[in-house]
Amino acid sequence: MKNPLDSIWGTIISGLVLTAILYYVVKSVLM
């Protein structure tokens, strides 16, 4: 599998996915 960080769009999409995951963790686990 290609490293998503090799492309700008892969990097942006990875960042958005990470945001969603961390938002879920903060809202449901850490709050």
DSSP conformational letter for 18: H
Segment 1 to 31, residues that bind another protein, using CB under 8 A: 3, 5-6, 8, 11-12, 14-16, 18-19, 22-23, 25-27, 30-31
What lies within 8 Å, CB to CB, of 1 at 6+ separation is none
Q: Which is nearer to another protein, 1 or 8 (CB)?
A: 8
DSSP conformational letter for 31: -
Interacting residue ranges for another protein, rule: CB under 8 A: 3, 5-6, 8, 11-12, 14-16, 18-19, 22-23, 25-27, 30-31
